Structure 1
């Protein structure tokens, strides 16, 4: 008898009984499968055709998929759907990710190296790239024809263009940072119609944002600075809109419009106007998070102080030196990473930090293999984070008390302490981890505690808040949760919230994925194509099945 693997959760790990490689798991996977990958380095490439699958790093795990030894993309997919979540992708002789007519979702991934675009998206299927860092590639992101979103993503240190949009594509590019490009930061061409909103483009070899070949973008609330070419340029035959943008320290003219180009150009934003709009937008994003009343109050008090300092500075009044380093203490899954991202955007909107990009690292990114190597790695990471936020998750693992190899972690701490003081106006360092362990972390160096201005405590979510988070996940995926499932979920969260390893929103996310899997298995047994309301419906039975898994 054969058993369908549709919707299953498959584990890739070196543990006995698990799949040893991603490729092995994909052989047994079919539509709806979620492949959870344990921490480690996987030297392989993946090719998919027509399959709908999710590849996600296990909670808290560092997963590296290394394709540097190959002359083909690390992930190549045609048709179907591919979601990558929390994975580091190292490319070699081709793109890191190549998607053709695929429903692609790349979330919280780090992508580097390779020839051609690090991420190449072609076709007419919608895609989403969010919370990613792309670096050290020939090009950043290429979108040809596809609708979708690129948001909260950093593209840095690429030889060619940062983000290229062509072939009539109309994605939304929002909240992104593009810096250190050999050619253009954002290149729009061949009838493309993107919306580029709230982005920062800097340090480009040519134009910051260039429009050619009948491109028709909407460019609003963007900051373009430090470019060797004009900040924004439109070639003949191009149209679109420019509004509320700031262009500074670029080649003249800052906004270059060729004869025959017809974009609508709004007024240049007054100093602070774009920042004020962005500030309110970021505060609204913070307020929209479920729960966390104490955290929101603390962040708003920081914003109030920074805003007043900026007003004093503009008025010519003295402002005391103030660092922006914070400690986020609390259990996993309580929103620390999300709030850290928003904090970086707030600092940028307030004019405190020039870029506001977000760089998340862990012990693995800072600690080397021999004495001296760690100091070099740590200093390099710190330098790359300048202008934005350096977020060190599970920072307590750097202390000697964390176990073997602790001395190298101590070297990372000893390197960070003087850098945090010398560059306190150029970077915000946020360290995060369990409350108790963070006490040990601060004791690792006599000057460490004094570098941080404030500790913000993140409390566990209540069962009702976790139910709301689960419901929001369902809505975001276009599912309708049966109201009768509410008491079942709150009862479950109440039972498990006292566990030592309880993961708060992470556990809610895992339970939601299991409920989706249970729904998929239930629908497959219908023996027919389900109606749309059936495809959207998450039943009590699906939730109960997820809880018992």
Structure 2
């Protein structure tokens, strides 16, 4: 006879019920919010919302958002969860290690972690799951199982990650509105993706990398910022009866060192293999874009010299001459607001146009994206971020915070640095790492690992903008927003910028943008007080009075 335990009927908390529940028991949970964690090791249990099928989380919320760990953690055994809502803070919402988790009709949210994470040979059977907010949706690491008829939406990073030889089947599932990729498959994984709908991704819809072998069947990939499907070097992919449309070109990208069978239906388009040919027109366009940036003469010269060297090396390679190993990793030093991020983006696109990097995508991260919460987590996290940037640029802003002193967090930061040093050497031809930050702090950062400085080809110093350049930046921002300066205003702006102290808090271009925002607010108040409908020129023109009002408020 199956033992049934009621919460909060016979037991005031879920933990109380779990402590006494025999193997095979069913814990029936009444509607309510339970601010506790469920830790189940080596057990066979069912957790079910009272009322049966649970629709919309069944009114049962297991809330671990303020607790130190996942809302549900299963180690070994076999656990069934039906009709619950699970939420966590800086941890995955549900974790299963080396066990079996059946999870049905549940709603899941996480702050900084995965919605559902399976590892160490675990299997998951997920049916009608809604993951509506998390850093990642599902993460399979050396794990398998099935995700069916589910929805993954509003994810800040990758919707689904399949790695370390994992082999799940993902069927009839919607993956939408992800900040990065819809599904990322790597490290020899072998998933089946069948009849899924993937859209609204910040990069590619599906990416296969590092020797993985996905089978993608009758799947619709659309409205993606990057290519619909990307098959990287060393991968073997089968793409059957898929529809790929409204994506970046090429719709399906297959690296020359990959093997793929591609069968597209509908309006989906075009499959292209990698080409190493240089796109001279694109190189010229990007260099012109770089030249159009205000100031930064020294930086522009350095970038041009790097591009010249790369181009000559390609010519030498084509002529059968030897070419030495070249690192594309760079250090950007200087204060905020000096164009470091913009130059990094252009540099990545230049490397793509030169045939050096296949994708040229730009991935910006900070300490939080690289450093984990516990020993061993950081290496995994930093490796995942690094591998996600393969083929493009990994831009680490305020990189010196990884080496800051004090406490366990500093140790985790050091672990991230040590991990990056090895990866940068192992994959120097496949990614460009750019670290950025204040000049002095970046010097301390390079001292954090004896091999770190040698991994970078060059340091580019971004100097503070002078008053003339800040006036030009302000004018460009204003014109882009359909504003013009009244007579005398440029001179007044020059005087204002000349009087600003160039200390650590000086924001360079951000100072100009912030000042213009204040001037627009002042203009709005001035126009409303006119007592008449303003003319088109009135609406476009910023006056000396607007500057005076903005600087009085700041």
Q: TM-score, normalised by structure 2?
A: 0.60
CA contact 2:398–2:437 (8 Å) conserved in 1: yes
Q: Aligned residue for 2:254?
A: 225
Against the structure 1 CA distance between its residues 279 and 405, is the aligned structure 2 distance closer, same or farther, given a 3 Å change threshold? same
| Structure 1 gap segments, 5+ residues each | 1-40, 43-63, 75-86, 97-109, 120-131, 143-152, 166-172, 189-195, 250-269
C-alpha distance in 2 between matches for 1:73 and 1:529 = 49
C-alpha distance in 2 between matches for 1:185 and 1:335 = 38
Q: CA deviation at 1:161?
A: 5.4
Q: Relative CO higher for 1 or 2, CA cutoff 8 Å, sep ≥ 6?
A: 1
Q: Is 1:288 matched with 2:317? A: no
Q: CA deviation at 1:406?
A: 1.6
C-alpha distance in 1 between matches for 2:297 and 2:491 = 24
Q: TM-score, normalised by structure 1?
A: 0.61
Q: CA deviation at 1:198?
A: 9.6
Q: Is 1:202 matched with 2:225? A: no
CA contact 1:187–1:211 (8 Å) conserved in 2: yes
Against the structure 1 CA distance between its residues 501 and 440, is the aligned structure 2 distance closer, same or farther, given a 3 Å change threshold? same
Find 1:325's aligned residue among 329, 348, 362: 329
| Structure 2 gap segments, 5+ residues each | 1-64, 67-88, 95-105, 116-128, 139-149, 161-173, 185-192, 209-215, 232-236
Equivalent residue of 1:368, what SS? coil
Find 1:136's aligned residue among 159, 173, 182: 159
CA contact 1:186–1:208 (8 Å) conserved in 2: no
Equivalent residues in 2 for 1:88-487, closer than 5 Å:
93=130, 113=137, 135-136=158-159, 138-140=174-176, 155-157=181-183, 160=196, 163=199, 179-180=206-207, 187=222, 202-203=230-231, 206=239, 224-225=253-254, 230=262, 235=267, 247-248=272-273, 272=277, 275-401=279-405, 405-487=409-491
Against the structure 1 CA distance between its residues 65 and 358, is the aligned structure 2 distance closer, same or farther, given a 3 Å change threshold? farther
Q: CA deviation at 1:375?
A: 1.7
Find 1:543's aligned residue among 534, 543, 547: 547
Aligned residues: 394
CA contact 1:65–1:90 (8 Å) conserved in 2: no
Q: Is 1:533 matched with 2:529? A: no
Q: RMSD value over aligned CA atoms? A: 4.4
Equivalent residue of 1:496, what SS? coil
C-alpha distance in 2 between matches for 1:347 and 1:468 = 29
CA contact 2:400–2:444 (8 Å) conserved in 1: yes
Equivalent residues in 2 for 1:494-513, closer than 5 Å:
494-513=498-517
Q: Aligned residue for 1:49?
A: none
CA contact 2:205–2:226 (8 Å) conserved in 1: no
C-alpha distance in 2 between matches for 1:472 and 1:65 = 41
C-alpha distance in 2 between matches for 1:208 and 1:513 = 51
Q: CA deviation at 1:335?
A: 0.7
Deviations 1:198-246 (A, max 9, x none): 968523874899578xxxx8987888325956487664xx9xxx9xx88
CA contact 2:226–2:247 (8 Å) conserved in 1: no
Against the structure 1 CA distance between its residues 223 and 482, is the aligned structure 2 distance closer, same or farther, given a 3 Å change threshold? farther
C-alpha distance in 1 between matches for 2:408 and 2:499 = 35
CA contact 1:395–1:431 (8 Å) conserved in 2: yes
Q: CA deviation at 1:333?
A: 0.7
Equivalent residue of 2:428, what SS? coil
User: Which has the greater radius of gyration?
Assistant: 2
